[in-house]
Amino acid sequence: AQSVAQPEDQVNVAEGNPLTVKCTYSVSGNPYLFWYVQYPNRGLQFLLKYITGDNLVKGSYGFEAEFNKSQTSFHLKKPSALVSDSALYFCAVRSYGQNFVFGPGTRLSVLP
Amino acid sequence: EAGVTQSPTHLIKTRGQQATLRCSPISGHTSVYWYQQALGLGLQFLLWYDEGEERNRGNFPPRFSGRQFPNYSSELNVNALELEDSALYLCASSLEAGATGELFFGEGSRLTVL
């Protein structure tokens, strides 16, 4: 069975500081990993994905994520947070031919 | 290129009524997913359709049902509405089931049950 954990309900960071939103997963087979962002009363927007290859993937709005197979993690990072990054972030996993499974979400607050 | 479109944007119903929500996927996408999101919380998986077939179903009662049409658009029906069905219903589409592509989400349909 596939599963995703986001151990922090809420992450607070000061504007200009680096941010990390954590994600760990469990899947049989090779994982396809995704990060999405959701602003209030909106649908989810795709940020980035890892399918294969380089463990560090870069995405939209300056976000990046590092795939760590041994730790089964896929943490989202950004070197310098903006107030406008404040939103709800979801990690998701799927394997070939299987359903997408989403984590519970982490609310990021960037304080000015 | 048009994204995933959902209708209606908002829907208000009373307990016991039926609601029908519609979704048009991105052109070329054959998989459609439905999720329920209550009060800005996590996504609860409802249904997954691919090539007209139901591929998977979440842990919801049978009064939640849907279908996918030959043009890959989809419909979610909720019968005998209950107050706790009030939520944002999100539709997403992707390329065929075996692909590595991401999901593309619509803006959602907000269902309010009074």
What confidence score (pLDDT) does residue B40 get? 67
By the CB < 8 Å criterion, does A58 face chain B?
no
Percent over 70 (pLDDT), chain A: 100
- Using a CB-CB cut-off of 8 Å, the residues of chain A touching B102 are 34, 46, 49
Residues near B110 by beta carbon (within 8 Å), at least 6 away in sequence: A41, B9, B10, B11, B87, B88, B89
Can you say whether the dihedral through the CA atoms of B96, B103, B40, A91 is positive or negative? positive
Residue A95: predicted pLDDT: 83
State the smallest CA–CA distance between residue A108 and chain B in angstroms.
Answer: 13
Write out the E strands in chain A.
3-5, 10-14, 19-21, 24-26, 32-38, 44-50, 56-58, 64-68, 73-78, 87-94, 101-102, 106-111
Residue-wise burial string across B60-90, b where 16 or more C-beta atoms lie within 10 A, e elsewhere: beeebbbebeeebbbbbebeebeeebbbbbb
3-state SS assignment for residue A85: helix
Mean per-residue pLDDT, B67-89: 97
* Sequence-distant (≥ 6) Cβ neighbours of residue A58 within 8 angstroms: A48, A64
**What confidence category does residue B98 fall into, taking pLDDT thresholds of 50, 70 and 90?**
low
Is the pLDDT at A28 greater than 90? The verdict is no
- CA B3, A2, A37, A66 torsion: positive or negative? negative
Rounded mean pLDDT of B20-25? Answer: 98
| Residue among B33, B43, B100 whose CB faces A90 most closely | B43
Measured distance CA(A58)–CA(A39) in Å, rounded: 20
Contact A25, A4 (CB under 8 A): yes
* A39 and B CB contact within 8 Å: no
* Token pair of B72 as six digits: 């890959």
What tens digit of pLDDT does each residue of A62-84 get? 999 999 999 999 999 999 999 99
Report whether pLDDT(A45) > 70: yes
Please answer yes or no on whether B97 and A97 come within 8 Å at the CB atom.
yes
Question: CB–CB of B45 and A101 under 8 A?
Answer: yes
Say what the pLDDT of residue A98 is. 80
Asked if A92's CB is within 8 angstroms of B103's CB, the reply is yes
Rounded-to-integer distance, Cα B92 and Cα B89, Å: 10
pLDDT digits (tens, 9 = 90+) for B49-65: 999 999 999 999 999 99
> What is the C-alpha end-to-end distance of chain B, expressed in Å?
37
Which residues of chain B have a Cβ shorter than 8 Å from any chain A Cβ?
A: 4, 33, 35, 40-43, 45, 48, 55-56, 88, 90, 92, 94, 97-98, 100, 102-108, 110
